[in-house]
Amino acid sequence: MWTSKDKSISVEGKGDFSLLNAAVSDFLEQYVRTCSPSRLHLCDGSDEENKKLCELMRESGMVRPLTSKEYTNCWSVRTDPTDVARLESKTLICTPKEEQVVAEGARHPGTPNMLGKWMSEEQMDAQMKDRLPRCMKGRVMYIIPFSMGPVGSPLAKIGIQLTDSPYVVASMRVMTRIGTPVIKTLNTGAEPTEFVRCMHTVGRPDPADPAEVQKAKMRLPTWPCDPERVLIAHYPMRREIVSYGSGYGGNSLLGKKCFALRIASWIGKEEGWLAEHMLIMRVQNPEGDVRYVAAAFPSACGKTNLAMMEPSLPGWDVKCVGDDIAWLKFDNEGRLRAINPENGFFGVAPGTSLKTNPNAMEMVHRNTIFTNVAYTERGDVYWEGMDPTYDLNNTKVISWRGIPHWKPGMCTMDGEVITAAHPNSRFCTPLSECPVVDPLYNSAEGVPIDAIIFGGRRPDTIPLVFESFNWPHGVFLGSAMRSETTKAAADVTEKLRHDPFAMRPFFGYNFGEYLQHWLNLEKPGRKMPSIFHVNWFLRGEQNEFLWPGFGENARILEWIFKRLNGDSSVARASPIGMLPTNSGIRSNDLSPSVDMDRLLNVDHKLWLKEEEAIRSFLEGQLGKDCPAGIVEQIHSLRERLANTCSEE
């Protein structure tokens, strides 16, 4: 039984509430009063607890166990078809002043704000007042203490998530470190440890309201949600997140994008470190040299595949520290150190195969929650691109929407192809299941970063790889990123969009200040990582990929190693940065052969357009908040392009 401080309310509860310190108890009480749950469950994080929860979800029809012998403790979940991805337009940062979140340029009336959206704290409070009261009536409020980063690490941060979704509890258990050990790290003394308050509800309509009940009839009964009224609010100054109406991924697993990127980027700015949308990998060459690399790509652009790739070059070895988020901080010796604040993968399933990511294919057979993939009569899962030899003709496949006899090529009445799995369907697997997880993934002090890679999906213009001239130029490369959009967000329609640092949906504060923060990191005595830009996605006339990618990306890593070792013979200056020489990247043994000239080409006409797009984006969005260091970079690029053009 849990009782409020003034003893006026008591709620039936599971767990040892005496472990909670005063600050956590106050937070809990505030939302118990608002949401009126019928029961509380303080999660201890144990196997036993997880088993019971999965069983409960199975009984209610929310999850199905994979019964095939090839899978151990794996589950399949179908969400409501209206709740399948992040919703960027419903995601807001709330502070007292707009300029804390939106740069000067984007505050101009008539200029569309392309980065973080702002709402005042008061306005958002009012919105939530309209949504939260009694939202958990008749249901359980789970309390999840979680640590982003190894428990007790000086780089880690604590969160407490309240949620009414058992699916979220099971997923948070995979994605973060949860339970009793985490609560015990929270100081009970006079100065309690800071924690991020995370409040989540799927927003199941009030059963007492007939209009709401009517609306809910249109949804999958096992997946309550309130898609029309979704709101994901971040209050960085209050260290609080309130998420209403969606049970999916980044909307509901609040440790991930909400905390580890949006709130953490704010904290990082205050404390002098970075929270970035980056994978972290360990790369070793045949001579035994080890380098750790962090790489930023937008959602669903291959971070997971790169982070655990099997290098095609003999003697090379890759180990994975993380596939999505990096917290980076300079240590006392001036080395940039990174931890992965997460403890699991939430990877895109479609396209994952033995060819594209053999390590992921291996690990998803254990302790994995699949969401919106197809389920088969063999008791296993299926998705597009999983296995070209899969006998679809003789296996009954149930699509993610529940079509019982799904076959490839099925179309809707409007001629739209019906896929077996949703394009943003996911596997959620503990880091420890990855066959190539780096033993240092749990290291409290983090791994030393020697190189940062930016990248995106670009069919043209951006060469396979190039290197920045120096740190400020590298920061500019991050700010200039553009990428073809994917299905990771449900409300994004443009084809190619600016996505600086792959952080567009994840910035927690003013983009101008963010750029200045990056520029300021360069200080005497610090070993600045080299910065590279890659593009695996160049296409030819028939729309075919010009570069094989995946394990063959080891060839690019080899070039990066040479550059890190100071080899100047493999690079040449170009207007956009240091490009590999044509023989700089080992490629003559590739079959089919590749056209290196084309892969490394800097097309002046296209680059003049690119420069124009970058400049108008940065000037438009930033306005007066554009740091002088970035203005300088914009001018220099323009000048270098002009000089090279006039030589032709």
Residue 299 or 461: the one with the smaller Cβ distance to ligand SAT is 299
The interface partner of residue 346, options being ligand SAT, Mn ion, none and the CB cut-off 5 to 8 Å by kind, is: ligand SAT
Here the tokens at position 240 are 């609080």
Residue 260 or 451: the one with the smaller Cβ distance to Mn ion is 260
Here the tokens at position 46 are 């144990």
Q: What type of residue is 423? A: P
Distance, CA of 29 to CA of 13 (rounded, Å): 13
Scan residues 570-599 and list those touching Mn ion (CB under 5 A).
Answer: none
Distance, CA of 253 to CA of 174 (rounded, Å): 10
Distance in Å, CB of 502 to Mn ion, minimum: 8
Distance in Å, CB of 155 to Mn ion, minimum: 20
Which residues would be at the binding site for ligand SAT (CB under 6 A)? 86, 249-250, 256-257, 299, 346, 488
Tell me the torsion sign for CA atoms 79, 82, 85, 87. Answer: negative
Q: Considering only residues 276, 324, 438, 610, which one is a binding residue for Mn ion as defined by CB under 5 A?
A: 324
Distance in Å, CB of 246 to Mn ion, minimum: 16
The SS3 assignment for 592 reads coil
The interface partner of residue 473, options being Mn ion, ligand SAT, none and the CB cut-off 5 to 8 Å by kind, is: none
Helix (H) or strand (E) holding 140: strand 140-148
The region of 30-38, 295-303, 333-341, 572-580 touching Mn ion under the rule CB under 5 A is 295-303
Residue 78 or 256: the one with the smaller Cβ distance to ligand SAT is 256
Distance, CA of 59 to CA of 40 (rounded, Å): 20
* Residue of closest CB approach to ligand SAT: 250
Phi-psi region of 443 (alpha: psi -120 to 50; beta: other; left: phi over 0): beta
The interface partner of residue 488, options being Mn ion, ligand SAT, none and the CB cut-off 5 to 8 Å by kind, is: ligand SAT
CB 37 within 8 A of CB 137: yes
Within its chain, how far is the Cα of 544 from the centroid?
Answer: 28
The interface partner of residue 456, options being Mn ion, ligand SAT, none and the CB cut-off 5 to 8 Å by kind, is: none
Q: Considering only residues 171, 246, 299, 368, which one is a binding residue for Mn ion as defined by CB under 5 A?
A: 299
The SS3 assignment for 428 reads strand
- Which member of 301, 428, 434, 626 is catalytic? 301
The answer to whether residue 258 is catalytic is no
Position 276 contacts Mn ion (CB under 5 A): no
The region of 55-63, 115-123, 296-304, 558-566 touching Mn ion under the rule CB under 5 A is 296-304
Distance in Å, CB of 167 to ligand SAT, minimum: 13
Residue 258 or 274: the one with the smaller Cβ distance to ligand SAT is 258
Distance in Å, CB of 348 to ligand SAT, minimum: 8
Residue 249 or 268: the one with the smaller Cβ distance to ligand SAT is 249
Distance, CA of 299 to CA of 297 (rounded, Å): 7
Distance, CA of 648 to CA of 631 (rounded, Å): 27
CB 320 within 8 A of CB 437: yes
Q: What type of residue is 96? A: P
Distance, CA of 161 to CA of 145 (rounded, Å): 6
Position 305 contacts Mn ion (CB under 5 A): no
Residue 24 or 233: the one with the smaller Cβ distance to ligand SAT is 233
The two beta strands, 290-296 and 447-455, are parallel
Distance in Å, CB of 176 to ligand SAT, minimum: 12
Residues 6+ apart with CB under 8 A from 329: 155, 272, 273, 274, 336, 337, 446
Distance in Å, CB of 300 to Mn ion, minimum: 8
List contacts with Mn ion (CB under 5 A): 299, 324
Positions marked catalytic: 301
